């Protein structure tokens, strides 16, 4: 995945999963809004070396090079507030944790955790793990096998 090419691999990443697929129009609008947000994103008055992107119809990400300016709790809170506001505008919840996206022969399929039945999974399924935290993980291990993800307890 070619994204955030101007950032070192150890940059911090925050992923947010929408509770439904974004439309092409919504992706365009949200991409513009994210670009505007990161232009002003700061920690204690110091601009963050940051970027944001819609990665696919279900995921958006923010990245920060912590070696330039570490994000603060307040700066992280501002990104959450931003996503809550755009979520209201779009009728989308970026904070639901009751769904998982999996790779289904090259297409992304979102399913409820309730659909995972005991014994149904073998751990080889490719999922989009929302709890990755570095750019290296995003670019080299996303999606990743369920058994190697933060959701490995499901298998």
Give residue 104's pLDDT: 86
How many domains does the chain contain in total? 1
User: Is residue 4 a part of any domain in this protein?
Assistant: no
pLDDT greater than 80 at residue 1: no
Buried/exposed 111-128: b ≥16 CB within 10 Å, e otherwise: eeeeebeeeebeeebbbb
Name residue 12's beta-bridge partners: 64, 134
Range of the domain at 55: 12-90
How would residue 122 be classed by pLDDT, with cut points 50, 70 and 90?
confident
Average pLDDT across the chain, whole number: 91
Q: At 117, is the pLDDT very low, low, confident or very high (cuts 50, 70, 90)?
A: low
Q: Please, which pLDDT band fits residue 115 given cuts at 50, 70 and 90? A: confident
Please indicate, yes or no, if residue 64 is contained in any of the structural domains: yes
pLDDT at 43: 93
Contact between 50 and 41 (Cβ < 8 Å):
yes
Q: Per residue in 45-58, pLDDT tens? A: 999 999 999 999 99
* Alpha-carbon span 29 to 48, nearest angstrom: 22
Share of the chain above pLDDT 90, in %: 75
Residue 86 tokens, joined: 């755009």
């Amino acid at each position: 995945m070619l994204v955030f090419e101007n950032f070192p691999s150890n940059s911090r990443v925050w992923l947010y999963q929408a509770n439904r697929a974004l439309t092409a129009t919504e992706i365009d609008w949200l991409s513009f809004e994210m670009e505007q947000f990161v232009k002003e994103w700061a920690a204690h008055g110091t601009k963050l070396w940051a970027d944001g992107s819609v990665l696919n119809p279900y995921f958006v990400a923010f990245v920060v090079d912590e070696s330039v300016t570490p994000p603060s709790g307040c700066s992280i809170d501002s990104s959450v507030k931003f996503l809550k506001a755009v979520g209201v505008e779009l009728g989308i919840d970026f904070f639901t944790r009751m769904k998982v996206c999996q790779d289904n022969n090259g297409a992304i399929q979102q399913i409820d955790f309730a659909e995972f039945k005991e014994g149904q999974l073998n751990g080889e399924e490719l999922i989009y793990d929302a709890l990755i935290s570095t750019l290296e993980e995003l670019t080299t291990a996303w999606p990743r096998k369920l058994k190697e993800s933060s959701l490995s307890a499901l298998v």
